[in-house]
Amino acid sequence: MMVARWQLEARFGHKQNVIDSLKKWFEEIGSEVGWTLEKVRITTGSVGALESTVVAELIIENLTELDNSWTKLGSIDGHKAWSVEIEPYIVSGTTKWEIFRIV
């Protein structure tokens, strides 16, 4: 088992927009690849972390599962449209994935 962490940095004053948009993404788009809100934890920076940080954590079986999900996402038109919609609210170039093994 693994934890896949998808991290975004919200522009100043837009963190709630990013959180709301991310929740909507999981309900409407992520669910198409099996990433429902029940399977994800969304967190934000608080103490010792940037307040602008928004993180979605997913539990996955392995990297193959993650790769298959990414491949499916690439074919979903709604994902492409969502990427354009959220862009004004995030700091460009700050999105990243980190993968952790559960021990």
For the chain, the structural domain boundaries read: 2-101
pTM of the model: 0.88
- H or E element in which residue 15 lies: helix 15-28
Place of tokens 């074919």: 75
CA 4 from centre of chain: 9
Position 37 scores a pLDDT of 82
Backbone angles phi, psi at 9, to 5 degrees: -110, 120
User: What is the average per-residue pLDDT within 8-12?
Assistant: 96
- The answer to whether 39 and 59 have CB atoms below 8 angstroms apart is yes
| Per-residue pLDDT tens digits for 46-61 | 999 999 999 999 999 9
Query: Does domain 2-101 match CATH 3.30.70.100?
Result: yes
The dihedral built from the CA positions of residue 17, 23, 27 and 30, taken in this order, carries a sign that is: positive
Query: pLDDT per residue over 17-43, tens digit each?
Result: 999 999 999 999 999 998 988 889 999
